Structure 1
């Protein structure tokens, strides 16, 4: 190793320039009187004493014997190895200290951030918060829809206005949504006609409204929403990602409600409503109530629809209606 490279290595190990020069002179001249070392490096007095003392402290040189001034370095193989190990230990100590400081900082910041990840909204504050959510959507809305419904005036109008702005709206309705008195006719059908992408499942896991990828509004459960009137606002975090994944999985398994027809003549709104209720799993009494007809009239209309689609039972009717774009 050249003197220049060894000097740089010593510097990296914490040996300053003056002590490094003394060490190099020791390697060349020792054992030698300290005065000869001083002459070789151009140091004397306090500067030489400080430089040599630093080498002794670092384990690179032996202290001069009492009453003499002959000095010598510790053999480099041993001396430099010990010094290197000391430096590694110091660096590791520093790394652990820095890591501890960072972890403390991270916990404090994360704790402060977590305070804003989930917000609880209750009572009369729910309505305005939901309206702001609809108005803030820019790209798409994902929704699980199920009773009980918060008494929000203008909810359907808000949804229609969002669709009119070009926001994609995908909604998975529960069977209870289609069975809820007047909801299919007054809320579902107008939105589907305006371009909402609607599907239906026997039930949905939670009442949910996801605005873009920005945040979600969640009722703790349908039952709790009715009793406690509570809603959670979930900001971007693992929970929001899980809610979006849950929606996408349910969306894939749900039955589409296209809101359009592909056959000449199509369907009357009442017959389409009948098929939606049938596909959603509603019972005969509920369907008859929603359509305002008797059970006998319901059975007659089912028979007419099955004849039009070549179906021999209700399952085939729902299947053929979906294939024909009637659902």
Structure 2
């Protein structure tokens, strides 16, 4: 019973009913209907202190006011009162969030005036994964990303991206050719996200591994293939560097080749052939394309010849160009 009362007391405290008022409410639940004096005796209160605590419960919609000429009191159904308390508490938390955020911004501005630091934070080791998941969850409008190997071992990355898309967050990703060639990455990561609504484009290479969360901050990976270093990340706060990274992404986005767009012109295009064109446009080698499609190189060449004839193209470059114009990419 003490454990249950302790949990209830904590719940009341979180709603703003604490101290004397909380003890009175617990006594009400055990003894009511009963005289207010008996409630006060059970809760160790009397006089003005009891009247004030009980009055707080009445104001909160958790207890009935004693009628004239009667001293008997009781708790009332809490639905309406709890709704009011919850809203009041939510408003207080929001005010606190704004106050703390404003205080930090003021601190940061004053610090910048003297030191110009904390603009770039270094995150290493296991903290990288936690910070990336926090970033995805904090997005409110859009995520912009340059994506390329090597990859930090985060098995939940695809699930986080899909959950973000499900929340209605716009997600634009520029993939490098190496992303498409990385074993299993196209089928297990890229295509599920594209089907879920991700806007994807591809370039032969991307200038840096980058994630931009809204206009708030950017995550920059310090991947160094030669040294097998992929567990260090920079968090860039609003400053000229963040603006430059945003501009770099937008410029690259405009130059990149759409990875997925309109489905096809009338008559349709088999999904396997569309996938072939995506890989080809991304610069994947014949070996990689054949592996991803699960076909032999001879079958691949035959399909390419059929597609070139269908598009009236004399070579692969013309085929990719005609495919884009036709809405097949």
Same fold (TM over 0.5): yes
Per the alignment, residue 132 of structure 1 pairs with 134
Per the alignment, residue 293 of structure 2 pairs with 291
Per the alignment, residue 181 of structure 1 pairs with 183
Q: Deviations over 1:55-102 (max 9, x none)?
A: xxxxxxxxxxxxxxxxxxxxxxxxxxxxxxxxxxxxxxxxxxxxxxxx
Give me the whole-angstrom Cα distance separating, in 2, the residues matched to 1:245 and 1:123: 29
Give me the whole-angstrom Cα distance separating, in 2, the residues matched to 1:117 and 1:210: 15
Alpha-carbon RMSD: 2.3
For 1:160, which of 159, 162, 183 is the aligned residue?
A: 162
Give me the whole-angstrom Cα distance separating, in 1, the residues matched to 2:246 and 2:229: 26
Give yes or no for contact 2:151–2:230 (8 Å, CA) kept in 1.
no
Equivalences for residues 1-327 of structure 1 within 5 A: 109-110=111-112, 114-223=116-225, 226-227=228-229, 229-327=231-329
- Count the aligned residue pairs: 223
Give yes or no for contact 1:184–1:273 (8 Å, CA) kept in 2.
no
Give yes or no for contact 1:148–1:225 (8 Å, CA) kept in 2.
no
Q: SS where residue 248 of structure 1 aligns?
A: helix
* TM-score normalised by L of structure 1: 0.64
Q: SS where residue 227 of structure 1 aligns?
A: coil
Query: Bigger CA drift: 169-178 or 258-267?
Result: 258-267
Gaps of 5+ in 2: 1-107
Deviation at 1:276, TM superposition (A): 1.3
Give yes or no for contact 1:178–1:280 (8 Å, CA) kept in 2.
yes
Deviation at 1:239, TM superposition (A): 0.7
Per the alignment, residue 56 of structure 2 pairs with none
Deviation at 1:206, TM superposition (A): 0.2
Deviation at 1:134, TM superposition (A): 0.8
Q: SS where residue 242 of structure 2 aligns?
A: helix
Give me the whole-angstrom Cα distance separating, in 2, the residues matched to 1:196 and 1:222: 27
Give me the whole-angstrom Cα distance separating, in 2, the residues matched to 1:291 and 1:322: 20
Deviation at 1:312, TM superposition (A): 2.0
Q: SS where residue 121 of structure 1 aligns?
A: strand
Deviation at 1:179, TM superposition (A): 0.7
Q: SS where residue 199 of structure 1 aligns?
A: strand
Give me the whole-angstrom Cα distance separating, in 2, the residues matched to 1:129 and 1:224: 25
Deviation at 1:107, TM superposition (A): 11
Per the alignment, residue 20 of structure 1 pairs with none
TM-aligned CA distance change 1:112 to 1:137, over 3 Å? farther
Q: SS where residue 173 of structure 1 aligns?
A: strand
Give yes or no for contact 1:200–1:257 (8 Å, CA) kept in 2.
yes
TM-aligned CA distance change 1:228 to 1:177, over 3 Å? closer
Q: SS where residue 229 of structure 2 aligns?
A: helix
Give me the whole-angstrom Cα distance separating, in 1, the residues matched to 2:201 and 2:249: 12
Per the alignment, residue 33 of structure 1 pairs with none
TM-aligned CA distance change 1:273 to 1:212, over 3 Å? same
Q: Deviations over 1:258-287 (max 9, x none)?
A: 244132343333222211111111111121
Larger Rg: 1
TM-aligned CA distance change 1:107 to 1:316, over 3 Å? closer
Q: SS where residue 311 of structure 1 aligns?
A: coil
Give me the whole-angstrom Cα distance separating, in 1, the residues matched to 2:206 and 2:279: 16
Give me the whole-angstrom Cα distance separating, in 1, the residues matched to 2:123 and 2:148: 19
* TM-score normalised by L of structure 2: 0.63
Give me the whole-angstrom Cα distance separating, in 1, the residues matched to 2:113 and 2:220: 22
Per the alignment, residue 81 of structure 1 pairs with none
Per the alignment, residue 100 of structure 1 pairs with none
